[in-house]
A and B are shown apart, each in its own frame.
Chain A
Amino acid sequence: MNARPGNGTHKRSAVISRRSALLLALSSSGALAQDFRGLAENAPGFALPQPGTPLVFPKDHGAHPEFRTEWWYVTANLSGADGAPYGAQWTLFRFALQSNSPHAGWDDRNVWMAHAAATNAGEHFFAQKFARGGIGQAGVEAAPFRAHIDDWVLETRDDSAGAGIERLRVSAGDGNFAYVLDLTATGPIVLQGEGGYSRKSDAGQASYYYSQPFFTAEGDVTIHGRKTRVSGRAWMDREWSSQPLGPDQKGWDWFALHFDGGAKLMLYRMRSVKRVPFLFGNWIDDNGATSPLISEDIAIEPLETIRIADRDMPIGWRVRVGSRGVDIKTQPLNPRSWMGTDPAYWEGPIRFSGSHKGEGYIEMTGY
């Protein structure tokens, strides 16, 4: 669904280099930029994506421990029975701290991390979890598909042994908020890049990447103990790779847009210390056909900023895609959709209008 900017294998957390362990990155957002820079190092022992490798489902829904990082990521744009709009996010990350580890019991060198969030116009809630791999506290099974960490679950609703991600249930929460959503795919799985091999930069870093942007969502969102019935659209991303960002890249802005006509658009803008931002995107027709977009075709500009958590965050964007005649302005549901997790970033539901109308999700990191 979304090409991660540059090597941005993770929107949410920095990846580790051999030197600094995962949590070093996570412990202070000030180190975020440093962490992303740390992603530039090569990771010996881990597998690298190869062009031409076919993705096989449902097997590839599961984890790929020979790769260093991986995630399962779901965002949903919802509207409640009360008419109010909501947003929900569910992310599960896997980091391998060592290649070729036994993957069993406490010796498994995978660490799992998850972020969950729920947003409405007035409030934004988030929560974070960590878990060790190998002992059953967190993990992903490919078929029947089940991804979980503690009591946060993303799993198939089908009983059959080979069930993939066509019909999912996703749930998460903590003391302040919770949600349970049933996702039903109304379109095919979309392979990003070239058959799932998605280039991240000119230097050749890449990842395996596919998305399912065609979910309809139905369920409940509970905020401060009050449950509201909701329904809407959802988008799932799957990506895994071993290589971090380019050395001078410090963060990215990422867009996942549902157009009212049924089409989908994924864009990113990779911000660099030295050079102009690197732009990349994917236009997905309502029947699932994809058209990768080149940087000259895309224009993304921040419009206004507000101050959040000692940073100046852009709040409105102008997005243009020349070849598709797209010229829209985005508006966040809640400008304060700040994820105060380790690391910290902005992620929340947006609406857009202009040449087209629709809704989606924006993520902004590295500010």
Chain B
Amino acid sequence: MKLRQSAWWALGLVIFALFPVVVTNPFYTTIGIFTVIYMGCATSWNMFSGYSGYVSLGTAIFYGCGAYTMALVSIHGHIPGGAEQFWVVPLGGLVAMAIAVPLGAVALRVRRHTFVVITIAFFFVFQLAAINANFTGGPAGLSLELIPWQGDAYNTPFYYVALAILVFSVVLSALVRRSRFGLQLLAIRDDEDRALGLGVKVKAVKLTGYTMSAFVVGMAGALYAMFLGQIYPQFVFDPVFDVTIALMAFLGGFGTLLGPLVGGLILESSQQWLTANYSNGSLYLILFGALFLIVVLFMPQGIVVKVKEVWSKRTSTGSDATQAPLATLGSESL
């Protein structure tokens, strides 16, 4: 069983690694890059919010901070456009973590429902600051030096760096899930007061989780800035990003390892494809919203859990059909 699972994960990785070899059209590899970036962010988001139950809608703060780190360091450090810029990517993650510490210290003082709203408020503080401050270039944003890579070769390095970030994110999330620390996060999700009573250092655990989850998102933001070569405050600090990341995790399966990957894969690739093919933005909004409503109403525990349920009903005699959905959420096999 263990072996078969590892084989599936390896197969998935090979498929993702071979994607730009098989598909060389830059239109599709660009979609691939964004999809992989979002899958990584959703996994990282889920590592804190999914495990602890503290839904954060301020993820774009870290994305934006990572993007501005890349832009500012590249511009002021006179880094020539090219592969050397990739070294700034982890720095973007570290800056995001540094920012997450004070934010988390304040936001995590409150319980879940209020936490959601505070993260939204924080997000708007950052967006407004990026639009209005001088060093961020204001609404006009910042432009990076052009990278002199041609044609198909432009996308490939970005794809593999994005994939590396994704793999890192998944491995980290899996390790956390199996660790004592991960169990503490899950305990907080189930009953924070009881966890506290049982000796879990709730505050420290929450803050550590929150800060860790910022790292990958910051790196993704930095990569995004480098890939596009131009950032605007309203696009790197985008409220839609906040919600999209959460949607991906819920769509796939909140608190599971596989869920955010599936959700990110489906949502981001279809979103990129739809926006590229339907220039009519409002029609796209309606389709996207309606699709999401349908999914939430018919499979509220997410696609992964639903598929697993249906699968086990078909393969077994149905004796374990009474298993509660939340119990499956916590199961190690996911």
Do these two chains really belong together in a complex? no
